[in-house]
Amino acid sequence: MSRALIVIDVQESFRARPLWAATLDPKIADRVNRLVGLARRAGDLVVWVLHSEPGSGGVFDPASGHVRLMEELERADGEPLLHKTSHNAFTTTHLQQLLTQHGVRELSVCGIRTEQCVETTARVASDLGYGVTFVVDATTTDPIPHRDAPAGQSVEDLLADPRTLPAAEVVRRTEYVLAGRFATIATVEGLEAAAGRPA
């Protein structure tokens, strides 16, 4: 086994926040399921990662009950489930040790949020010497407020602010900064085609 799929933070915590109404792809679990199916059929390792903020009292606090895979996802027996407390999936987990044990040298990454935990994981993985494929349409993110926007603004105010960076633009910029530097950009349909499966 030389490849792994890392599924990052596709968890109920995000759906428990009002901002989920503005996410780019609320059906991200469907694309992730397609990727997971491809990885399993190829014999690749599938690693699930959840973000956790113990003691925070928010939706990422395990005590909230939301720090779990989205209900549409199904983890197979034996597939590792890691809990991280940093943006990337390496720093606060034993992910690198796990990948080394399985002889993994190539990673595909997907999940939530495109420019935050997924991108940061891709960058760290690249720096650690892994070949990285960033499956862009199996990621999603939210609009980003301007640095001078008031804290705690409503979703409506965020979307009405002309300085807000739209989620689609966040994804587009992420592709630009990763491609040719830290990762190869791919789509679910493209990977399915390459594997000889109809889209």
Identity of the amino acid at 155: V
- Please identify which of the residues 39, 59, 117, 186 carries the catalytic annotation: 117
User: Cα separation of 16 and 14, whole Å?
Assistant: 5
CA dihedral 183, 189, 190, 194 (to 10 degrees): 120
Inter-CA distances, 114 with 40, 110, 127, 131, 145, Å: 23, 8, 18, 18, 15
Which H or E element spans position 30?
Answer: helix 28-42
Structure tokens at 168: 């689609």
Active site residue 110: no
3-state secondary structure of 147: coil
Residues with a known catalytic role: 117
